[in-house]
A and B are shown apart, each in its own frame.
Chain A
């Protein structure tokens, strides 16, 4: 069987959905709503999903991304609202995200604690801290919307930024030693150690990276409206993990690539608008998304069984 069977089957499913829309709801392909949907829903999530891919390939998980997303968006937004330049506020949000990622990474790689427990704790703590501090009040960034650009330029900037993360990372995970280390650690940390890789350092760095990506994504999302919502990012961890798993990354580590994740994210993101265009009740949305994820996990399970025999 082709080694990219999973990625190709997700891409095929996506093609089916897009073809169905072209036939039954050509209005979907109007440029304006499509551009708004891609910049609003896909671009920031893709950046976080890139980080999530590395973390899951490394056989870990990070469910705190939604909370750090909200914190980075609010902090970056507060800087912008006080007249701080984008050139300062944006790196500040990325560094803040990286620090929160490093905190997770230090507990997971340094102390050897399970990532699901550590990031569950930070997810709740950061979310509640933000709730306590902001009481749900929006941050007004007004003129800093679209980083001060006009709407069209701002939207294309988001797409370019997302691709500027995806493309080098996709290349690096395949061709750079550092990228292959992540796969090696996720496949067998002990073997990787014997081969001279430092598994704990690799794990730590993947968490720093997902943190930085989350900070960037938070700012990409924050500047798309004049007000930053402090409850933003709720459920982001589920959306990114779903995209990663549907995209063929093995939840037990060591396998998968970013092209599959891109296809998985596009597939899951197209379900919701497709239902609206096809006039299907919103009651089906979660059920269909759940079925796709279940299918992906079952496929993953069957493959790892086959490998054992």
Chain B
């Protein structure tokens, strides 16, 4: 909350001092201090506050000023209003995570028409409404990371089961395809079942309970939807099988901290949100300064080099939260 307050104070100060100052086109000249506006889906959401933390560090390092503002709750109309406000103030570059890609794209095209550069992160807009999308994860990256982590915990041997959202969920099926693909490199691991939990934590718990008893040799449960991870962990805890049946999955740190510290859940896989926020700002800065151009194959930011596929700047491999690092994240 305090951070939010600081950010909004900084933002207000900048908006006031920035009035009438900025000539967007001239800002492209390098060496000048840039004003970068960052629009999250919702500024009250801990996930985006974590991204803002990384963004602020990146902006400080680059000597830029960061405006971080968004709807208090997810609200596509309010996102448009904020972008309109930034167009009037004349910021140099905007980084957005869209709640509604069609609605926001119109406002962003208008910004581009005024010479403001646009990048998107986390949730893309239409391709013509931004220059680059900072892509936090690919289905292959997620699928492979989950399977590799499962194999590591099982010493590449034994039975495991997957809990998914629903059998028709597009994202999950895409990840599952990549998990299957990666599973071929671990011939001694067997996927015994693939069960849906309808995105319901209590159903995930029931599924995990049944799976453990129907497959007594089960070594690991992998949940590929966020309610599935704490659901499966609670089932393992209640069955008294902590440590005997391991739990991993795709989820948010806060929902899983207690289970990670309790030794029930070994790893929670997602991306590093702070790095995502930082990369969005670094890309926005480089784009406005002209050092990052469409067609580039790599992007060097700080001491890291990121791949660019088409117009997607790739954050890289997913991040694994475990008991050593999970407390550093609060979302």
Contacts and interface: CB of A to CB of B under 8 A. Distances in A.
Given A138-B255, A224-B202, A33 B212 contact: yes
A229 B210 contact: no
Interface string A259-276: 000000000000011001
A32 interface: yes
Contacts of A30: 213
Contacts, number: 101
Nearest to B45: A135
Given A225-B230, A282-B195, A27 B202 contact: no
Contact of A282 (B167, B209, B238): B167
Interface string B157-197: 00000000001000000000000000000000000011110
A28 B213 contact: yes
Secondary structure at the B interface, as helix, strand, loop or mixed, is helix
A283 interface: yes
B51 to A, nearest CB: 15
A276 B202 contact: no
Given A33-B209, A151-B238, A231 B200 contact: yes
B200 A234 contact: yes
B195 A27 contact: no
Contacts of B290: none
A272 B203 CA distance: 10
B206 interface: yes
Interface of A: 25, 27-28, 30, 32-33, 36-37, 40-41, 132, 135, 137-138, 140, 142, 151, 221, 224-227, 229, 231-232, 234-235, 272-273, 276-277, 279, 281-283
Interface of B: 42, 44-46, 73-74, 167, 193-196, 198-203, 205-207, 209-214, 216, 227, 230-231, 234-235, 238-240, 254-255, 258
29 contacts: A25-B214, A27-B216, A28-B213, A32-B213, A32-B240, A33-B212, A33-B213, A36-B205, A36-B235, A36-B238, A40-B205, A138-B230, A140-B258, A151-B238, A221-B202, A224-B202, A224-B205, A226-B258, A231-B201, A232-B201, A232-B202, A272-B206, A273-B206, A276-B210, A276-B211, A277-B213, A279-B193, A282-B193, A283-B167
- List the 7 closest A-B pairs by CB distance, nearest first: A33-B213, A229-B201, A276-B210, A273-B210, A225-B234, A277-B214, A36-B209
